[in-house]
Amino acid sequence: MSTLAGTAPTYRKLLWIAGIGWLFDAMDVGLASFVFAALKVDWKLAPEQISWLGSINGIGMAVGALLAGVMADRIGRKPIFILTLLMFSMASGLSALATGFAMLALLRFLIGMGLGGELPVASTLVSESVPAGERGKVVVLLESFWAGGWILSALVGFYVIPKYGWQVAMLVGAVPALYAVYLRWSLPDSPRLQAPAMRERRSVWQNMTAVWSREYARRTFMLWILWFCVVFSYYGIFLWLPTVMTMKGFGLIKSFQYVLIMTLAQLPGYFSAAWLIERMGRKFVLVTYLAATAISAYAFGYATSIAGLLTAGILLSFFNLGAWGALYAYTPEQYPTRFRTTGAGMAAAFGRVGGILGPLVIGYLAAAKVSFPVIFGIFFGVTLVGALAVLVLGRETRAEELVD
């Protein structure tokens, strides 16, 4: 079959175009954590309200992942790819005009729909356009743009929010995302969808039930557990990270500075995962990096000194984001082309339930004066469950051709 992988510059162009949009998506998610910390002061929000802002975003991501996944198998990857980024960027820009909690919560839901829908579709499109021997590495490199977005968000959070306010920060994140929409108009759709066998479209119901058929049920069960655990720990920890630092006694600007340092560790986490994933395999990277994430979360909960917090936070960023890269490479490889984005979207949607619960756990437990070692002990346990699911139920897909 002819693919975009025939010439290296072609799929490199695809990587860059998809990656730029991914970068600005991450920038918004990262900015949210800094904006929430600022709103805690400006709007005098309670911890429970901050938790709900994060969780409403997670609800939107769950809805977006499910809808975009099933529709991308019906009408193509590219149209959904563009539509979801457009929804995300417009809602993000409008957030700068929010005048109260309810309005901001609605916009965070729409942002979540766009973001949650785009990510599984983007990773599937890239997976289907790259040869098997490089597929895992390229998808992890796509995910590494997420770290670039978080680093930009940390810079904006540190330099822009204290001086110009959180509204300006939201505009800074939204405007460049529209440029990514422009770039994607020239993007070709997945070459695998052009194959003769794929011209007859299956119904949404056929695709959704096929994900749980006898042949694929074990893979789906494993993926749903894995997605839930990874998303629960990531959004529970990282959306709250600046606020947790302030609750540990550091000032707002100092907390932003420390989070910026921790965020820089995301890039080497991705690059190390990209290097290992084609050498040691998907299962090795996922199990190792998730186990290390769990240990780092446990250490962060107990840390009290600046050195201890920074060390644990850096390791959290390194291993958790490396695991994310492997997750996006591993997920599309579980299903055939005819319902690949449906399977990926359903797994991501279930995972977003973890993204809803994670921020709520910290918010309500912190409000109840539960100690940080106990709170981060929960993240330790949940992340280990994800590692065990891959170890026991997962299969190795390194260098396998995607199934049509």
Res. 3: pLDDT tops 50: no
Burial class, 307, CB count within 10 angstroms (exposed 0-12 / middle 13-18 / buried 19+): exposed
Question: Region 238-256: what's the mean pLDDT?
Answer: 71
Question: Region 26-44: what's the mean pLDDT?
Answer: 80
Q: Which CATH architecture has domain 8-185+211-393?
A: Up-down Bundle (1.20)
In this structure, what are the phi and psi dihedrals at residue 388, rounded to the nearest 5 degrees?
A: -65, -35
Burial class, 259, CB count within 10 angstroms (exposed 0-12 / middle 13-18 / buried 19+): buried
Burial class, 199, CB count within 10 angstroms (exposed 0-12 / middle 13-18 / buried 19+): exposed
Res. 2: pLDDT tops 50: no
Quickly list H helices, 185-281: 204-210, 217-238, 241-247, 252-263, 266-277
pLDDT of residue 389: 97
d(CA 284, CA 290): 10
Q: Using alpha carbons, list the distances in angstroms from residue 296 to 233, 250, 257, 299.
A: 11, 20, 20, 5
Averaged pLDDT score across all residues of the chain:
83
pLDDT of residue 307: 86
d(CA 210, CA 297): 36
Q: Is the dihedral of CA 111, 112, 113, 115 positive or negative?
A: positive
Calculate helix-pair angle for 132-159, 101-127, nearest 10 degrees: 150
**Percentage of the chain exceeding pLDDT 70:** 88
d(CA 120, CA 129): 14
Res. 1: pLDDT tops 70: no
Calculate helix-pair angle for 101-127, 47-75, nearest 10 degrees: 40
d(CA 30, CA 43): 20
Under DSSP, the state recorded for 195 is S
Res. 180: pLDDT tops 70: no
Q: How many residues does the chain have?
A: 404
In 3D space, the residue among 103, 84, 91 whose CA is nearest the CA of residue 21 turns out to be 84
CB 140 within 8 A of CB 326: yes
The structural domains of the chain, with segments of one domain joined by +, span 8-185+211-393
The one-letter amino acid code at 218 reads: R
Of 256-265, 318-327, 333-342, which gets the smallest average pLDDT? 256-265
CA 352, distance to chain mean position in Å, is: 10
User: For 74-104, how does the pLDDT look when each residue is reduced to its tens digit (9 = 90+)?
Assistant: 888 888 888 888 888 888 888 888 888 889 9
The one-letter amino acid code at 361 reads: V
CB 208 within 8 A of CB 346: yes
Res. 177: pLDDT tops 90: no
> Which residues, 6 or more positions from 117, have their beta carbon under 8 angstroms from its beta carbon?
64, 65, 67, 68, 69, 80, 83, 84, 87, 345
More confident residue, 262 or 386: 386
> What spatial distance separates the first Cα and last Cα of the chain, rounded to whole Å?
10
How many Cβ atoms sit within 10 Å of the Cβ of residue 44?
Answer: 8
Read off the pTM.
Answer: 0.82
The secondary structure of 49-85 as a DSSP string is HHHHHHHHHHHHHHHHHHHHHHHHHHH-HHHHHHHHH
d(CA 304, CA 233): 20
In this structure, what are the phi and psi dihedrals at residue 400, rounded to the nearest 5 degrees?
A: -75, 140
Task: Using pLDDT thresholds of 50, 70 and 90, give the confidence band for residue 404.
Answer: low
User: For 123-160, how does the pLDDT look when each residue is reduced to its tens digit (9 = 90+)?
Assistant: 888 888 888 778 888 888 888 888 888 788 878 887 88
CA 301, distance to chain mean position in Å, is: 23
Task: Using pLDDT thresholds of 50, 70 and 90, give the confidence band for residue 194.
Answer: low
> Which residues, 6 or more positions from 22, have their beta carbon under 8 angstroms from its beta carbon?
118, 119, 122, 142, 143, 145, 146, 149
